[in-house]
Structure 1
Amino acid sequence: MRLRRMSLAAVIAAAGLGMLAPMAQAADPGRAGGACAPAAGDVPLPVTQDHGVLQAQVFDRQVPDPSVYAGRVGFVWAALQSAQPQGVLASSYVTAFRNAPARQYTPEWFKTNHPDWIEYTADRTTPAWEFNNQVYTPIDIGNPEVRQWFTSTLIDPAIAAGFKVIAVDNIGVRNDFHVSGHYDQAGNWVQQFGADPKDPAWVADVLDWLRYLRDYAHARGVAVAFNLTFNGSLHDEFQDKSPEYLAAIDQMIDISDIWLNEQGFTVHRVENVVDDEWQLMFDLLRRHRCKPSVVMNKLPTDYWNQATPEQRQWVVANYLLYREAPAMLETTGRKDYAAFNEIPELSADLGTAITPPVRRGPTLWTRLYREGLTVVNPSSTQAADLILPAGTYTDLHGVQYSGRITVPANTGLVLKKS
């Protein structure tokens, strides 16, 4: 341990940052130490970077000129076209359990042509509409005929159009839309899932479906990007009755080539993700830190720049705390969703990381970079003191810090050495 600490001190000193004052430290929750090795395989993945903020674009229907991506965006989730600027990888959109975006296949079409493909709730009459959207029909993903139709109708045309990634949306570990079963070709009811949204049969079906989609895409030299949104506030409910919840999330992320998480550390609300919910999200991201990922942080305002400076800096501070080279960041308000946002905070660049994330004391997390450090206090109630390395540091909005500082609860700081 002595030699390891001396080596770390030497690296930090060489970077001109000195040492943070000794405090209680916790190990990084990543699966292994060290930098992420380049991904091996035969499918295309986004070009990564080991410094600054690598952005993603989620939907692009409000981006008239994709040349704005150059040098800033590595991946477009659900692009309108496969052609993109050099270095930008585009994906084509489908949903996991319904026929979006093929609107021509209406619920009436399914009732007429394939009534045995439709999934219903427990009343055996109401289709298991997702988000109460009655345009797209919930379909039986375990049916081999459905799978063949899904790939030939929704995926093959996208591959033919030049897309190298298939973006699969709305994948749920929970059966939140109450899929119960379907009718067979003879009109007999087939019960598939119980009333508990945590039914293991549902998880098993979803895992099998995701493996099928991945293997189908890989056989054609194409990657898959799964929207697997983790909701930490549900964790206790799952742990009480189904400790396999996090294991299922981990398996689904492992199956994916690129992972999109819409929850992030803001969740479209004024209150940030804090306390135990924050810890669950942070640990999940660090466990999968070498997986190409997009973490979206939706803010509660119409536009990103209308949110408070504190919340905007919170987003970037968390990104720099958990990120490794394959991690991408998407940030948006309500009305600039699907637009390319000129966000000054996303130009933050502290150089490359020289330590993993380190927990200091009961609440505070820090990570040293060659040109500064990122600091996150995810407690909702408890402030924390920190002694900065020698020198003066400036945050993303021009505020300067030096010496001993107090980091308020629910605060993130990106501090560049002046």
Structure 2
Amino acid sequence: MDTGNNTHSFLSFDFDINNPGAVANDYDFVWNAGPYQYQTFRNAKPSLLLSYYITAQRDNGQFYSQNQINSLSYWQQVHPDWVLYKCDRQTPAYEYGDPNVPFTLTNPAVLDWQVANYVKPAEDFGYDALAVDNVNMENLFNACGYYDRPGRWVQRYTGNVSDPQWENDMANWVSRMAKVVHSFPRPMMFIPNYSTGAAMKSATAAQEVIASSDAILDEGSFTHYGSYRLSGKAWVGMVYFIDSIQEQNKAFFSVNQYKLKAMTSDELQWIQGSYLMCNQHLEYLSIAAARGYGHAMTPQERIVPIGHALGEMYQQQSTYWRDFSNGEVIVNPSSATVTITLPKGSSYVDPAGKPVGLTLSLPATTARILFKKA
């Protein structure tokens, strides 16, 4: 779907959606539409892109109930050569403190098991895409190695966060899994939650992940997981990265979290303004409280009647501007307050409908969305 006009939203998880049919038409994509919600979403909006969710390298439970995971002792008994450990050779490289047993990326039997238990059932169910979480190019949880079938230790990684072998193995896993989902009689899309971290986005392995994928989801985007607003070169780099994905005719799903108790106009304009700077017809937006996924977005979060872009982002008055058919977006990603002057004769209102003067002050890392006065 062309996203070039106004804003287009997607739903990150559906945990707290009690009536999918009531919200289906508000979105173009659902990242992790649960099997029990699937048919209601589909009936309400047949064109809605629905994805089944797995993580890249751990026990994902049962197809219908991903909380039903097996214990470490189970996996050590049934598939001891699948378990991925830290460098003490005893502690599994658990992710994010979760009890899901982590698996090696390189064992073909692991991928075959993932396909048989999750991916093929998802294709049979009718899902459009496979949503793959935690495709991290960093060895975030200090994985080191595994024990082979005879019980010998095999050290695969250094245990350091930055590890070229880890990057290559992740890229290879993505390539193999993407080929599987693309080979089905009704091919599915492969959409990873992709993070390079300290790894270079231009590195060969990182580019291989993008090349294998049909779209990219970024959980950090312009609010860095709800921790802080990107600034300076980091903000500009994110804009250009999102542009580059769309240039390859791949969609970009931008997740922006916030830590505030309630969304403010300032925070909302920062997120929406940043999104609008790089929406090149294939970008989608999701807004959520930090780690508060599964809730429907409000109309104010979803709807920005700004029209279509009249050109690319440009720099002016120490800020970044983009002209739209129904307004103007201005972003100040710097660490200092900037005062700007709007063109003479212009007449704008803010998102609340309040008239805006010709002089505006933009504090550090803020954005302003201005609408043409009716």
TM-score higher than 0.5: yes
**Distance between the aligned counterparts of 2:273 and 2:239, measured in 1?**
12
Q: Deviations over 1:60-106 (max 9, x none)?
A: 02112222334430000011133322321110010001122433433
2:232, 2:334 within 8 Å by CA — same for their partners in 1? yes
Q: 1:298 to 1:230 in 2, by over 3 A?
A: farther
Q: Show the counterpart of 1:279.
A: 236
- For 1:416 and 1:276, the matched residues in 2 are separated by 27
Q: Determine if contact 1:169/1:227 at 8 Å carries over to the other structure.
A: yes
Contact 2:86 2:159 in 1 (8 A): no
Show the counterpart of 1:170.
134
2-side partners of 1:275 and 1:87: how far apart?
38
Which residue identity is paired with 1:226? P
Alignment of 1:266-345 (within 5 A): 266-269=223-226, 271-289=228-246, 290-302=249-261, 306-334=262-290, 337-345=293-301
Which residues in structure 2 correspond to 1:240-259 (within 5 Å)? 248-259=205-216
For structure 1, which segment, 48-57 or 178-187, has the greater mean C-alpha deviation from structure 2 after superposition?
Answer: 48-57
| Corresponding position of 1:225 | 191
Looking at structure 2, the residues matched to 264 and 61 of structure 1 have their Cα atoms a distance apart, in angstroms, of 22
Of 109, 114, 125, the residue aligned with 2:90 is: 125
Q: Given residue 180 of structure 1, which amino acid in structure 2 is its aligned partner? A: C
Paired with 1:227 and 1:335, the residues of 2 have a C-alpha distance of: 15
Correspondence 1:381 to 2:336: yes
Partner of 1:95: 55
User: Residue 175 of structure 1 contacts residue 198 of structure 1 at CA under 8 Å; is this kept in 2?
Assistant: yes
- 2:301 and 2:160 map into 1 onto residues whose CA distance is 43
2:345: which partner in 1? 390
2:153 & 2:202 partners in 1: Cα distance? 29
Structure 2 letter corresponding to 1:116: D
Matches for 1:174-213 after TM superposition, within 5 Å: 174-213=138-177
How far off its partner does 1:133 sit?
1.4
Letter in 1 for 2:220: Q
Q: Deviations over 1:19-59 (max 9, x none)?
A: xxxxxxxxxxxxxxxxxxxxxxxxxxxx3332111100010
User: Structure 1 residues 271 and 335, CA, compared in 2 at 3 Å: closer, same or farther?
Assistant: closer
Q: 1:59 to 1:398 in 2, by over 3 A?
A: same
Matched AA of 1:367 = R
1: CA distance between counterparts of 2:127 and 2:301? 31
**Counterpart position of 1:3:** none
AA in 1 matched with 2:321: T
Which of 45, 52, 57 is equivalent to 2:6? 52
Query: How many Å apart are 1:230 and its aligned residue?
Result: 4.9
The C-alpha deviation readout for 1:369-412, integer Å capped at 9, x for no partner, is 11111111101224142433632111213332243433332211
**1:110 equivalenced with 2:110 (yes/no):** no
Are the equivalent residues in 2 in contact too, given 1:313–1:345 (CA < 8 A)? Answer: no
Q: 2:15 touches 2:293 (CA, 8 Å); kept in 1? A: no
2:221 aligned with 1:264: yes
Match of 1:40 in 2: none
Distance 1:71 1:416, change over 3 A: farther
Q: How far has the Cα of 1:109 moved from its partner?
A: 1.9
Match of 1:11 in 2: none
- Kept in 2: contact 1:53–1:329 (CA 8 A): yes
Structure 1 residue identity aligned to 2:95: E
Separation (CA, whole Å) in 1 of partners of 2:145 and 2:301: 48
8 Å contact from structure 2 (residues 85, 146) kept in 1: yes
Mind listing any 5+ residue stretches in structure 2 that lack a counterpart? 63-67
User: Identity over the aligned pairs, expressed in percent?
Assistant: 25
The aligned counterpart of 1:413 is 368
Aligned residue type for 1:140: T
Q: Deviations over 1:133-169 (max 9, x none)?
A: 12x1111121111111111112111112111211100
The structure-2 alpha-carbon separation of the partners of 1:371 and 1:244, relative to structure 1 and needing over 3 Å to count, comes to: closer
Match of 1:161 among 125, 135, 143: 125
Higher relative contact order (CA 8 A, sep 6+): 1
| Residue 62 of structure 1, aligned match among 6, 16, 21 | 16
Give the letter for the 1:123 counterpart: D
**2: distance between equivalents of 1:258 and 1:271?**
25
Q: Which moved more, 1:244-253 or 1:373-382?
A: 244-253
- Structure 1 residue 247 displacement after superposition: 5.2
- Deviation at 1:309? 1.5
1: CA distance between counterparts of 2:202 and 2:70? Answer: 33
Q: Aligned partners of 2:314 and 2:61: how far apart in 1?
A: 43
Residues 345 and 164 (structure 1 numbering): CA distance in 2 closer, same or farther, change over 3 Å? closer
Contact (CA 8 Å) 1:193, 1:201: kept in 2 or not? yes
2:65 equivalent in structure 1: none
Give CA deviations for 1:186-209 in whole Å, capped at 9, x if unaligned: 111111111332211111111110
TM-score, normalized by length of structure 2? 0.89
User: TM-score scaled to structure 1, two decimals?
Assistant: 0.80
